[in-house]
Amino acid sequence: MTGRIFSVVGGMFLLTVCSKGNQSTVQAAPPSSSASAVSTAGGTITGKIKFTGTAPRNPTIDMSEEAACKSKYTTTPTEEVVVAGPANALANVFVYVKSGVPAGQTFTAPTTPVVLDQNGCRYHPHVLGIMVGQPLEIQNSDPVLHNIKAIAKANRPFNVSQPGAGMKTTRTFAAPEVMVNLECNVHGWMHAYAGVRPDPFFAVSGQDGSFSITGLPPGTYTIEAWHEKFGTQTATVTIAGTESKTANITFAAR
Amino acid sequence: MRWWLPDAGSTFAGPIDALFLAILIITGIALVVVEVGLVTFVIKYRARPGRKAFYTHGSTRAEVIWTAIPAVTMVALGLISNHYWVLMKDKKSIPPNAYHVGVHAKQFEWQVTYPGADGKLGTGDDFTVRNQLHVTVNEPIAVELSAEDVIHSFFVPEFRVKQDAVPGMHITAWFQATKTGEFEIGCAELCGMGHYKMRGRVFVHTPDEYKAWMAQQAAGGTE
Amino acid sequence: MTAVAHTSTKAHHAPMSFWRKYIFSTDHKIIGIQFLFVSLFFLLVGGLLAMQIRWQLGFPGKPLPGGGILPESMVSGGVILPEYYIQLVTMHGTFMVFFAIMPLLVGVYANFLIPLKIGTHDMAFPRINMWSFWLALLAGLIMLAGFFVPDGAPRAGWTMYAPLSARPDLSGATISQKLWSISIVVLGLSSVMGSVNYITTIINHRAPGMTWFRMPLSVWALFITAILAVLALPVLQGAAIMLLFDQTLGTHFFDPGAGGQPLLWQHLFWFFGHPEVYILILPAMGMASDIIANGSRKPIFGYHSMVFAIIGIAFLGWLVWGHHMFMSGMNPTLGSTFMVSTLLIAVPSAIKVFNWLGTMWRGNLRFHVPMLNAIGFVSMFTIGGLSGIFMAATPVDIPLHDTQFIVAHLHYVLFGGSLFALFAAIPYWYPKMFGRMMSERIGKVHFYLTFVFYNMTFFPMHIIGMGGQMRRIYDPTIYDFLKPQQPLNRFISYSAFALFAVQFLFLFNFLWSLKRGKKAPQNPWEDNGMEWSLPNPAPHGNWDKTPNVYRGPYEFSAPEAGDKDYLPQYVKLPTDRDPVPAPLPAGGH
């Protein structure tokens, strides 16, 4: 009788523990003792990102149902799906070294956090790069509830709330992932994208479409540019010594 | 400070509030009888030296009376209530000329889909707006509820309208607003951490105002 | 089947170690006391959770005093986070219903009272009874663990509606949601084991002369409750297992995308859930009957009606579950049928209230602490029962469903009803349990203060519910239509803090009296029950020789009693004849 009860309860316990429900974090390779610091004296890949064709119109956001955010704007805010600069420059493109970094080389993540701010019911920045293990400090500058839902495959997803201004939450990512989607479910237009990399060789293009990846050791690299609407483009660059090479990338608008 | 039900804003409020008041009176009488009885007995029959309790096992007559009166009252209440229940919730009670609007509930917003210029839901000119339900006053509105993820509940207190939105189910709730203005929508079924913030607004317009709003929506486009 | 004569039970045991006597005991009285200590602990846990809820509702966004000790997943800068708030409301309900009130009424008093009040030495299955306690404790600890595992406690409400409860990605609760299911299955086992004991013991082991209609109403109520439990808990266990499978085995019972039905959860849960609330009130009603008759020095008015009312409530209780689902999207015709059955179930409850009044009418009322609390029970349960009529009328349920009006109703029946009855029962049978009296003075202060602060806390909830405040919302001030009611929310919170503080009087009284209470005379309340023929505390095995029962349980102020105003069931008058024990079954015992 006793044994039967225990095996039933024990069996259920095992079901819990051995279920596929939980996602365990994928561990990145532990830093080896010979981890090399990023050498600022290295090669650089710079470039400008553009697109051809006509950019689709960014939908306007009606924030009437969140007065505290609406009041922060003098003109109607729009979504940031395609942020175009002068001469079809494309901002918010996440550029990173996809391959070419020597195998076995590890990099220590900086302890300074990347800050993601929720202000005016929008994420600032809209696209960010962060290293594995580097803290992402999410802060709420609005006096309203935001939840930050991270939709990730290689990393453990999370969903935390910040009901008031001044609240801060820090998270780190344990595995590289391009891209982790961040969204707010209370304000459905809020989206941000985080590119998580094991090395510091990434950048996000600015308003003028320019980007710059520095500190690269000599070698041949494939860089990939990711845009939330236009997809991905790649380019190959060979760096010798500490030279600076240019790689411009063009997307086709769609 | 509010002490009563919200101000009436739909044709349902009259019957529901009247029924509420009727029940309040009936239960109020019952409450007074019981509580005054209790207090009276506590004072009148407290133990005092020389007193003895009255030895009895009960009274069949009393049992019959206080079984019959509640039973009859409850049956009557049920019959009256059911008439209005059928009116408010039965599919067949939805007025055939009702204006249909789709409300899709999702963690944590109300996605309201309008039938557009052709007035028909499910056609190409439909458009969706977050958290704002625009309707015309004195017109029956049929809200076609659906849910994306978990159970939510569409609740407009002034209209006395409440209906759960269940994933996998298509449920129609109807109402007819009786005054123009702005009213709030709350979610009345726990749906996650943002449950309390699932606030929307109902804008009840005059027919002209509604036409103007519809035209404005067709011209612009918001997220 | 009537009782069978037993010989002495004292000879059955060799001297027992401390562990066998007090920890792994099969004595129904020790088991009842074990339930008492553990359940009071969970009552305190439930109260602490409630204090945090009231803090947030009264003062949204203000840092919780002492909140700094809580982890970042629960509070931010001391401010309760929304995801923690819904854990609080979920676990407050869960602990109070499953681990406080139910075990206090059933685990304690079914175990302690039944063999004593029917005149037998122990339960039919003492070892299963012991298991019933340890499983209940295990279930409680598993449930408590939910707060300490990664991602925190379950948060879909104590009603655990699917799909929210079945989808960790949508609720945020992962491991703890599975622990919930396991805890419920274990608790259900405990309940069923207990019920099997209570039913069998009452049917088979009544002392000679203890006919069915001479059983006290507390025993009747516990008997009917046990039948409810043995039939209802397995339904919940089944639903909990289905929920667990949806999360772990890839089933889709409640997932509409794969052919499942969210409403299935609600039907299963409430098919259990409604009988459950009668499990939570019937024992309270039964014990209140015993105490009110004693305090009035009069027989219970309408004993037979009271028995039939208990049976009627229990039977009808199976037919009303849909009234929790009027807004659920189920066919409105079901709403009509469930409205009828729900309105009808008000009738037997009304019968009981009138019979309690009838008992007090022309009595000679003694206001000892148990009687005060029993009177409080009647007056508060009446309010709770009457408020239910509003929701039973389906059109009126439309504005009231899932608002604070429901919260007011359920607290009036569960606290105003069940808990006040417990505040009556605990001091009443304390002498039988521990050989001492609880302090009357502290008890009276506790009663009056609790009564006042209790009504100040829960009555205004009717009003804010009418105003439309939804359940389980973290911050009412988000809504313009709720802002005007916020002063009442603050008032409720202050009253709740005071109410909680006052309960420490009861806790102190309970614990202090264990060692320092006045030594109890054998029959301190001059009561008629069989248990008062035994010394205080009642000894292991209860009676040396099976007692005889000579009359009904409520012969207060009977003419045969002479100058005493009570006449216990076990007292043999010169005019009484010994009851004939039932013949032994063929083949011996």
**pLDDT tens, residue by residue, A34-52:** 334 445 578 999 999 999 9
Please, which pLDDT band fits residue A102 given cuts at 50, 70 and 90? confident
Mutate to test the interface with C, among B19, B162, B169 (most CBs of C within 10 A): B162
Indicate the residue among C461, C490, C520 that finishes a domain: C520
What is the helix (H) or strand (E) element at residue A239, kind and residue range? strand A231-239
Candidates A16, A145, A166; nearest CB to C82: A145
What is the helix (H) or strand (E) element at residue A249, kind and residue range? strand A249-252
Chains A, B: CB pairs < 8 Å: 46
Candidates A13, A22, A159; nearest CB to C182: A13
Alpha carbon B103 to chain centroid, angstroms: 17
Rounded to a whole number of angstroms, the distance from the CA of B159 to the nearest CA of chain A is 20
Contact A5 C168 (CB under 8 A): no
- pLDDT digits 0-9 by tens, C278-303: 999 999 999 999 999 999 999 999 99
Residues C236 and C307 in one domain: no
Chains B, C: CB pairs < 8 Å: 296
B25 close to C (CB below 8 A): no
Q: Give domain status of residue C473, yes or no.
A: yes
Indicate the residue among B76, B91, B106 that finishes a domain: B91
Percent of chain C at pLDDT above 70? 96
Tokens, residue B105: 């509930």
Please, which pLDDT band fits residue A103 given cuts at 50, 70 and 90? confident
Rounded to a whole number of angstroms, the distance from the CA of B161 to the nearest CA of chain A is 21
Contact C163 B153 (CB under 8 A): no
Q: Give domain status of residue C178, yes or no.
A: yes
Task: Tell me what ipTM this predicted complex has.
Answer: 0.97
Contact B58 C303 (CB under 8 A): yes
pTM comes to 0.93
C198-208 average pLDDT score? 97
Q: Give domain status of residue C132, yes or no.
A: yes
Torsions phi, psi for C381 (to 5 deg): -60, -35
Around Cβ C84, how many Cβ atoms within 10 Å?
26
Task: Check residues C40 and B217 and name the one with the higher pLDDT.
Answer: C40
Q: Give domain status of residue C270, yes or no.
A: yes
Please, which pLDDT band fits residue C2 given cuts at 50, 70 and 90? very low
Residues B103 and B210 in one domain: yes
Q: Give domain status of residue C340, yes or no.
A: yes
Residues C275 and C320 in one domain: no
Candidates B197, B200, B221; nearest CB to A59: B221
**Residue C124 pLDDT > 80, yes or no?**
yes
Rounded to a whole number of angstroms, the distance from the CA of B219 to the nearest CA of chain C is 31
Residues C385 and C273 in one domain: no
- pLDDT digits 0-9 by tens, A197-221: 999 999 999 999 999 999 999 999 9
CB A219 within 8 A of CB A243: no
CB C155 within 8 A of CB C177: no
Indicate the residue among B91, B121, B136 that finishes a domain: B91
A66-76 average pLDDT score? 96
Residues C432 and C508 in one domain: yes
Percent of chain C at pLDDT above 90? 94
Chains A, C: CB pairs < 8 Å: 62
| SS3 labels along B171-184 | EEEEEEECCCEEEE
* Residues whose CB falls within 8 Å of the CB of residue C574, separated by 6 or more in sequence, listed in order: none
Provide the residue range defining the domain that includes C400.
Answer: 300-520
Q: Give all chains having 3 or more CB-to-CB distances under 8 Å with chain A.
A: B, C
Q: Give domain status of residue C238, yes or no.
A: yes
- Reported as half-sphere exposure (CB side, CA atoms, 13 A), residue A57 has a value of 8
What pLDDT is stored for residue C150 in this prediction? Answer: 94
Chain C partners of B191 at a C-beta cutoff of 8 Å?
Answer: 164
Rounded to a whole number of angstroms, the distance from the CA of B6 to the nearest CA of chain A is 21
Residues B75 and B167 in one domain: no
What is the helix (H) or strand (E) element at residue A95, kind and residue range? strand A94-99
Long-range CB contact pairs, A185-188, < 8 A, 24+: A185/A147, A185/A149, A185/B106, A185/B107, A185/B108, A185/B109, A185/B194, A186/A144, A186/A145, A186/A146, A186/A147, A186/B108, A186/B109, A186/B194, A186/B197, A187/A66, A187/A69, A187/A121, A187/A146, A188/B106, A188/B109, A188/B130, A188/B223
- Reported as half-sphere exposure (CB side, CA atoms, 13 A), residue C297 has a value of 24
Residues C267 and C306 in one domain: no
Query: Would you say the C-alpha torsion C357, C363, C369, C372 has a positive or negative sign?
Result: positive
Q: Which of B111-125, C150-164, C215-229, C418-432 has the lowest average pLDDT?
A: B111-125
**Residue C588 pLDDT > 50, yes or no?**
no
Rounded to a whole number of angstroms, the distance from the CA of B112 to the nearest CA of chain C is 19
What's the CA gap between A185 and A181, in Å, rounded?
12
Contact B222 A59 (CB under 8 A): yes
Contact C81 A160 (CB under 8 A): yes
Measured N-to-C along each axis, helices C486-516 and C440-466 cross at an angle, to the nearest 10 degrees, of: 160
Tokens, residue A55: 């950019």
Around Cβ C296, how many Cβ atoms within 10 Å?
31
C463 close to B (CB below 8 A): yes
Mutate to test the interface with A, among B130, B191, B198, B199 (most CBs of A within 10 A): B130
Number of structural domains found in chain B: 2
Residues B60 and B127 in one domain: no
- pLDDT digits 0-9 by tens, C218-243: 999 999 999 999 999 999 999 999 99
- Select from C452, C481, C486, C487 the least CA-distant residue to C467: C481
What pLDDT is stored for residue C175 in this prediction? Answer: 97
CB B9 within 8 A of CB B177: yes
**Mean pLDDT estimate for chain C:** 95
Residues B28 and B106 in one domain: no
**Residue A80 pLDDT > 90, yes or no?**
yes
**Residue C587 pLDDT > 60, yes or no?**
no
Provide the residue range defining the domain that includes B70.
Answer: 13-91
What's the CA gap between C289 and C421, in Å, rounded?
10
- pLDDT digits 0-9 by tens, C476-485: 999 999 999 9
- Select from B156, B163, B149 the least CA-distant residue to B192: B149
Which CATH number belongs to the domain containing residue B114 in this structure? 2.60.40.420
**Residue C4 pLDDT > 90, yes or no?**
no
Q: Give domain status of residue B18, yes or no.
A: yes
Residues B79 and B151 in one domain: no
Compute the residue count for chain A: 254
C156-177 average pLDDT score? 97
C394-401 average pLDDT score? 98
- pLDDT digits 0-9 by tens, A112-161: 999 999 999 999 999 999 999 999 999 999 999 999 999 999 999 999 99
What pLDDT is stored for residue C351 in this prediction? Answer: 98
**Residue C12 pLDDT > 70, yes or no?**
no
* Residues whose CB falls within 8 Å of the CB of residue C399, separated by 6 or more in sequence, listed in order: B5, B16, B157, B160, B162, C466, C468
Tokens, residue C586: 């063929």
CB A209 within 8 A of CB A90: yes
- pLDDT digits 0-9 by tens, B148-168: 999 999 999 999 999 999 999
Residues B134 and B213 in one domain: yes
Closest chain A residue by Cα to residue C135:
A5
What pLDDT is stored for residue C22 in this prediction? Answer: 84
Residues C116 and C195 in one domain: yes
What does the pLDDT profile of chain B (223 residues) look like in tens digits? 889 999 999 999 999 999 999 999 999 999 999 999 999 999 999 999 999 999 999 999 999 999 999 999 999 999 999 999 999 999 999 999 999 999 999 999 999 999 988 889 999 999 999 999 999 999 999 999 999 999 999 999 999 999 999 999 999 999 999 999 999 999 999 999 999 999 999 999 999 999 999 999 887 654 4
- Going from the N-terminus, what domains does chain A have, and what CATH number goes with each? 45-252 (2.60.40.420)
CB C405 within 8 A of CB C391: yes
* Rounded alpha-carbon distances, angstroms, from residue C46 to C49, C262, C461: 5, 28, 19
CB B149 within 8 A of CB C156: no
Which CATH number belongs to the domain containing residue B44 in this structure? 1.10.287
Please, which pLDDT band fits residue C129 given cuts at 50, 70 and 90? very high
What pLDDT is stored for residue C16 in this prediction? Answer: 82
**Residue C148 pLDDT > 90, yes or no?**
yes
**Mean pLDDT estimate for chain A:** 87
Q: Give domain status of residue C13, yes or no.
A: no
Please, which pLDDT band fits residue A90 given cuts at 50, 70 and 90? very high
Residues C408 and C460 in one domain: yes
- pLDDT digits 0-9 by tens, C357-367: 999 999 999 99
Contact C175 A22 (CB under 8 A): yes
First vs last C-alpha separation in chain C: 14
Please, which pLDDT band fits residue C581 given cuts at 50, 70 and 90? confident
* Rounded alpha-carbon distances, angstroms, from residue A221 to A35, A37, A97, A240, A247: 20, 19, 7, 11, 11
Q: Give all chains having 3 or more CB-to-CB distances under 8 Å with chain C.
A: A, B
Residues B174 and B201 in one domain: yes
Q: Give domain status of residue B73, yes or no.
A: yes
What's the CA gap between C237 and C225, in Å, rounded?
18
What pLDDT is stored for residue C40 in this prediction? Answer: 98
Residues B115 and B205 in one domain: yes
Q: Give domain status of residue C573, yes or no.
A: no
* Rounded alpha-carbon distances, angstroms, from residue A19 to A24, C175, C187, C245, C279: 11, 10, 22, 10, 34
Mutate to test the interface with C, among A16, A137, A169 (most CBs of C within 10 A): A16
Task: Please provide the DSSP assignment of C27-81 as one string.
Answer: -HHHHHHHHHHHHHHHHHHHHHHHHHHHHHHHSTTSPPTTGGGS-TTTEETTEEP
Closest chain C residue by Cα to residue A146:
C82
What pLDDT is stored for residue A14 in this prediction? Answer: 56
Residues B190 and B87 in one domain: no
Q: Which of B 27-56 lie inside 8 A of C, CB atoms? A: 27, 30-31, 34-35, 37-38, 41-42, 45-48, 51-56
Chain A partners of B200 at a C-beta cutoff of 8 Å?
Answer: 65
Please, which pLDDT band fits residue A105 given cuts at 50, 70 and 90? confident
Number of structural domains found in chain C: 2
Chain B partners of A68 at a C-beta cutoff of 8 Å?
Answer: none
What pLDDT is stored for residue A8 in this prediction? Answer: 53
- Strands, DSSP E only, in B47-180? 99-106, 109-114, 127-130, 132-136, 140-147, 152-156, 161-165, 171-176
Which CATH number belongs to the domain containing residue C307 in this structure? 1.20.210.10
Q: At B88, is the secondary structure helix, strand, or coil?
A: helix
What's the CA gap between C223 and C77, in Å, rounded?
51
Contact C358 B20 (CB under 8 A): no
Contact B194 A64 (CB under 8 A): no
**Residue C10 pLDDT > 80, yes or no?**
no
What's the CA gap between A105 and C274, in Å, rounded?
64
